[in-house]
Structure 1
Amino acid sequence: MMKKLVPILAVLLVISSCGKNEQQAPPQGPAPFPVQTVTTQDATVYQEYTARIEGQQNVEIRSKVNGFIEKIYVDEGQVVKKGQILFKLETQTLNQDGSAAKAMVQAAQVEVDRLKPLVERQIISSVQLETAKARLAQAKSAYGSIAANIGYGTIYSPVNGVVGSLPYKAGSLVNPASEMPLTTVSDTKNIRAYFTMNEKQLLFFSKTFNGATTAEKLKVVPEVSLLLVDNSEYDQKGKITAINGLMNATTGTTEFRAEFTNPQGILRSGSSGVIRLPIVSKDIIVVPQNAVFEVQGKQIVYVVDKENKVKSRIIETNGTSDLNFIVTSGLSNGEVVVIEGTSKLKDDMVIAPQSKTATPEKVEVIAKDSVQPKTTTANK
C-alpha cells in the first residue's frame, strides 16, 4: 500500500511546486491602455426643439345655415381638391321660403310695370312708381338672401388638402354655432413646424445670427432638419420663416415657425417632431465618454505625461452624449488622455499607451447648458 502512495505524493509535490512558481512570477511591465491625443476642431452643434406640425392651411369647415346633413361625399383622410363637394344639407324649408320670396319679386315687378305707363301719361304721381320700385328692390334682396342660404346647403372644399375627422353623421342637425366643425381640410403640400425658445435661448439665437431686424437674421439662419417620431430624419430640409415678435408672458417663450415641403405626403397635420438648428462652433475639444469618470460630482480624466505616468485632472464639459463630451476647460490641445479602463488607474501609475485616433465622421452631443437645452454635434 505504501509503495502505491509514494508515486502519488511525488506527483502532488511537483504540481504544488509549479503552482507556487507561477504565483511568484514577476510582473511583465506596464499594462497597456488605449489613449487618444486631444485636438481642437470645428463642429456643427445641432440645437433641438420639440415642434408641433401643422398644414400650411388648416381650414375648419362649418355650416353657414341651419340644416340636417343629407349626404357626406368624402371620408376621413381623403385627399380633396379645391371646389370639391364635401357635404349636402337638407334645404326643403329654405326652398319653400325661396319660392315664396320669388313670388314676391314677381308681384313687385308687375306693380312697377303697371305704374310706369300711368306715370308717363301723368295720371299718377311718380312717387308711387318710386315706391313700387323700392318694394321690388326689397323683394329681390330677400329672395337673393334665401337663394344664397340655399346655396350654402351644398358645402365645397375651399382648398386642396386632406380631410380630417368627421364628427357628424348623415341626419345630424348642424348650424353656424355648432361647437365642432363639420371637418377640417388641411393643405399639407407645405408643412409648418412650430417650436418655442425661452428668453435665454432667444438671446443666444439673436447674438449668434447677425442682423438689425428679424427679417435680416432669418436670411442668414441655415436650413433646419426635422426628426420624426421614429428618430429618423425627414428627407427634406426646412427654413425658419417667422418669429413671433412678443414673448408669451405666461410661458416666457417665443414661437418660431419653420416650413418644409411635403411632396410624398409623409407629414400629417397634428403630428409632432424635433427641429434641429445647426450652429457652427469653432475650436472645440471632444473626448470619448469612456475617458471621463465622476467623483463627488466632478468630471475627471487621466492625462498621460511624457514618462507615460497618468495624473487625474478635473475637467468641465458643455454636454454629453452616448459617445462623447464637449470639453470647455481642463484640457489643452495636444494632451493625451486614457480613453478606456480608467477604473484600473491611479495617480503616478506608469502605463503602456496604445494610441487610438478619434473618429471624425460624427459626434453626437446633448448640451446641458440652459441656453442650449438639447444639441447634437457633428464634426466637420
Structure 2
Amino acid sequence: MYQSISINRKSTTLLALTTSLVLVLSACSQKEQEKGQAQKGQPTSVNYKTAPVQVINPEYEISVPAELKPFEQVAVYAKVTGFVQRMYVDRGDRVRKGQLLAVLEAPEMEQQYLSDKSNEQKVHSDYLYAKQAYERLLDASKTTGAVADIELDRAKSAMESAKSAYDASKAGTAHSSQLKQYLRITAPFDGVITERNVSVGALAGTGSNTPLFMIAQSNKLRLTLSLPERHASSVYEGMPATFTVSSQPGKTFDAKLSRTSGLLDQQDRSLTLEFDVSNPSGELLGGDYAQVKLKLKRKSPSNWVQTKSVLNTQSGTYVLTLNNDEVKRIAVSEGVRLDTLTEVFGNLSPADNIIMKPSEEIKEGKIKK
C-alpha cells in the first residue's frame, strides 16, 4: 500500500513538471510570433556600402601573341619558257638586289631577236631612201614649175609611211630584246634564298606553277599581331612595344608601331597591328612566334568601378547604384580590368554611388534607413 502511494506521488510530480514546461515553451513561442509580426509591420533598417564611380584614364599593359614575318617575301618565277642553263645560288645564300640567280636557255628566242633586228635594219634603209627622195624634191620645188605639187605630196607621204614602219620595227626588236633579258633571273631585293625548287636542265616558264626560288628579306622584319576589339581605341601613333621569342629565352626586343589595318577584321573582330623590326645582324628569324607587351591608353577618360561591384547574371552584367536612398540596376558592358578596378560602359555618371557587394536579392526601389 505504501509503495502504491509513492508511485502515484511520483507520477503526479512528473505530470506537473511536464505541464509547466509546455506552458513556458508556448509563452516563448507566442512572444516570438508577436515580435515577428511587429517586425513585419515596420521597415527593416538596411545599410549598403557604396563607392563612387571613378572617371579616369590610366595606362594599362596587355600581353598578346604575335608573329615575326619577313618584311618582303616573294616567289621568283620565269617569265619566259626556257631550260635552266646555269644556277648561281642555293638555299640559305644571301643575295643583293639585281644579283644574277640563274640563266635560262631558249635558242628560238635568240633567232627571233636576230630576225627582228634584221628587219629593222631593212626598214630603216627604206625610210632613209624615202627621206632623201622627199628632200630632193623639196629642193627642186623651189624652182617654179620644176616639180608638181602632187609629186611632192606623194614623196612626203611615202617618207612618213616609211618612218612609221621603221618605228614599228624598232618596237618589235625592243620586244624581242626584252624577252631575252627575261632569260636572266635576278634578285628583286636584298634577302636570303629560302627555297630552290629546280635544277640545271629543268624546263621553267609560264607553264610551270613551281617557282624557281623563294626569297625573303631578313634584315628587316614585320611583327604582326591581332589586337582584340575592346583595346582597338587605345592604339596611338608610334606606340612602343616589347616582345620576346621562344627561340631566344631571356632576351627582350623593342619595336614601335608602324601601321594598322585601319578596320576591324569581320571574322575575329580584331585590329591588325604591324611593327617594323630592324634585324641587320640576322639575330631574329622570320617565322618566329613572339609574345608582345603593349602599353595602352584610352583617348579619353572612362568609367571605372570596383571589380567586386560588377554583378554577372544569366540575364546580363549589371551594377547597382544607390542614390538618394534609391537602388537602380544599370546594365553595363565590361572593358579592361586593372588590379581591383574594372572599366564599364553604360548609363552611368560620375555622381553615381555603386553598391560594393551586389546580389540578385537586392531589389530596385526606395529603401528605409
TM-score of the two chains, using structure 2 as the length reference: 0.57
Deviation at 1:45, TM superposition (A): 6.4
Go from structure 1 to structure 2 and tell me whether the alpha carbon gap of 1:110 and 1:279 turns closer, same or farther (over 3 Å shift): closer
Structure 2 counterpart of 1:137: 167
Distance 1:60 1:54 in 2: 15
Which AA in structure 2 matches 1:328? T
Structure 2 counterpart of 1:226: 243
Q: 2:340 aligns with which of 310, 328, 331?
A: 328
1:236–1:260 contact (8 Å) kept in structure 2: no
Matches for 1:145-156 after TM superposition, within 5 Å: 145-156=175-186
Structure number, greater radius of gyration? 2
Secondary structure of 2:71's aligned partner: strand
Structure 1 counterpart of 2:126: 111
Structure 2 counterpart of 1:186: 216
Go from structure 1 to structure 2 and tell me whether the alpha carbon gap of 1:193 and 1:132 turns closer, same or farther (over 3 Å shift): same
Distance 2:202 2:61 in 1: 50
Secondary structure of 1:256's aligned partner: strand
Deviation at 1:251, TM superposition (A): 2.4
Structure 2 counterpart of 1:276: 293
**How many pairs align?**
231
Matches for 1:38-187 after TM superposition, within 5 Å: 46-122=61-137, 125-176=155-206, 178-187=208-217
Secondary structure of 1:170's aligned partner: coil
Deviation at 1:242, TM superposition (A): 1.2
Residue 266 (str. 1) matches residue 283 (str. 2): yes
Structure 1 counterpart of 2:352: none
Secondary structure of 2:72's aligned partner: strand
Higher percent of residues as helix? 2
In structure 2, runs of 5+ residues without a counterpart are 1-57, 138-150, 298-335, 342-369
What CA deviation, in whole Å up to 9, does each residue of 1:150-208 have, x standing for no partner?
A: 011111112111111112222232224643432232222121110101212324x35xx
1:67–1:173 contact (8 Å) kept in structure 2: yes
Secondary structure of 1:75's aligned partner: coil
TM-score of the two chains, using structure 1 as the length reference: 0.55
Distance 2:60 2:251 in 1: 18
Distance 2:133 2:223 in 1: 71
Identity of aligned pairs, percent?
A: 21
Secondary structure of 2:108's aligned partner: helix
Distance 1:274 1:200 in 2: 19
Which AA in structure 2 matches 1:158? P
Which AA in structure 2 matches 1:251? D
Structure 1 counterpart of 2:316: none
Matches for 1:192-207 after TM superposition, within 5 Å: 192-203=222-233, 205-206=234-235
Shift >6 Å, 4+ stretches: none
Deviation at 1:268, TM superposition (A): 2.3
Secondary structure of 1:264's aligned partner: coil
Go from structure 1 to structure 2 and tell me whether the alpha carbon gap of 1:172 and 1:260 turns closer, same or farther (over 3 Å shift): same
Distance 1:267 1:231 in 2: 9
Deviation at 1:75, TM superposition (A): 0.9
2:244–2:252 contact (8 Å) kept in structure 1: no
